[in-house]
Homo-oligomer: A and B are copies of this chain.
Amino acid sequence: MNTEKPQLGFIGAGLMGLPMALNLLRAGYPLTVWNRDGAKCAPLVAAGARQVATPLEVVAAAEVTFSMLADPAAALAVCFSPHGVIQGVGPGKAYVEMSTIDPETACKIGISVQARGALFLEAPVSGSTPQAQAGELVIMTAGDEALYHQIGDLLALLGKKHLYLGEVGAASSMKLAVNMLMGGMMAAFCEALTLVQTAGLDGQAFLEILAAGALAAPIFQAKGDKIRRADTATPQFPLKHMQKDLRLAVQLGDVHHVPLAVTAAANELYKRACQCGLEEADMAALFETLQARSLPGWGKPLGAFGKKR
């Protein structure tokens, strides 16, 4: 990368994209931006970004363009619409897809970008808004390895860690494996917490013991606190997405003939929670599904840790 900072592009100014783009701007990079709802670009323009009318104009202006969108459908629309990314990429340009998408979608976009002579990296992340703001995401990448090395400084502005994992599809698959473990851990955690409380033990003490030992994962404190505060109705990671990832993991296990008994059991618990109407709640609402049905308040957050009812 030459001493003069290259022109960058950013597509998507949502909960994740906005703070990520701001981190690039703050580091002094010239940035062209687009968002479907243009109003959301205001904080970026205020910080020095140039707003344009189509994704095509972003890639036309930029050497490296990042996109961070809600789902595979949005990622595909931005690429393949008439004034989309594919129309603008070509030799000397690079496209970095950071949206959480499935391996098939990643391949579809990657092949089209590369067919135009441009470089492509799929780069899904672990972490949510606070990590995006702090530039502390974990970035899993796959695709053109030269591009991975070329933009190392930029990835370091967005995340505390980035890895190159191989051909397009590898990063999406890795993210699936991580989320699958998350789903299994959370299910085991909710079962243990339910047993703790039903046996008349103190849920808060359970969390403190976890925090001090070999099982100390940040998610237990975050989700345990959410359960304690009866705050599972406001999702950080919606339960239905957790169930979807478990379903996809079980299916990937089917493809590879890997038996996943614990993951499959967790998947059915989350399905049960969906059946109970908790699809849009936070994944921690799984806890509620494990409680006795006949409790007063069953189906609503329990409100507080404590001794057995």
Contact = CB atoms under 8 A, between A and B. Distances in A.
A195 interface: yes
A166 interface: yes
Nearest to A173: B199
Q: Which residue among A138, A196, A258, A294 has the maximum number of chain B CB atoms within 10 Å of its CB?
A: A258
A161 to B, nearest CB: 4
Interface in A86-125: none
Contacts of A277: 292-294
Contacts of A217: 214-217
Contact of A198 (B184, B188, B213, B256): B256
Contact of A290 (B187, B212, B258): B258
A209 B182 CA distance: 12
Interface string A195-219: 1101111100110111011111111
Interface stretch (A25-33, A150-158, A227-235, A266-274): A266-274
A122 to B, nearest CB: 13
Contact of A274 (B126, B178, B208, B257): B257
A214 B208 contact: no
Given A214-B218, A215-B182, A195 B268 contact: no
A222 to B, nearest CB: 7
Interface stretch (A50-58, A59-67, A76-84, A245-253): A245-253
Given A184-B192, A198-B258, A277-B294, 16 more contacts: A126-B212, A163-B209, A165-B202, A170-B201, A173-B199, A178-B206, A178-B213, A185-B185, A185-B188, A195-B253, A215-B217, A257-B275, A259-B275, A259-B290, A261-B269, A262-B266
8 contacts: A184-B262, A188-B263, A214-B217, A259-B268, A262-B269, A264-B268, A276-B292, A276-B294
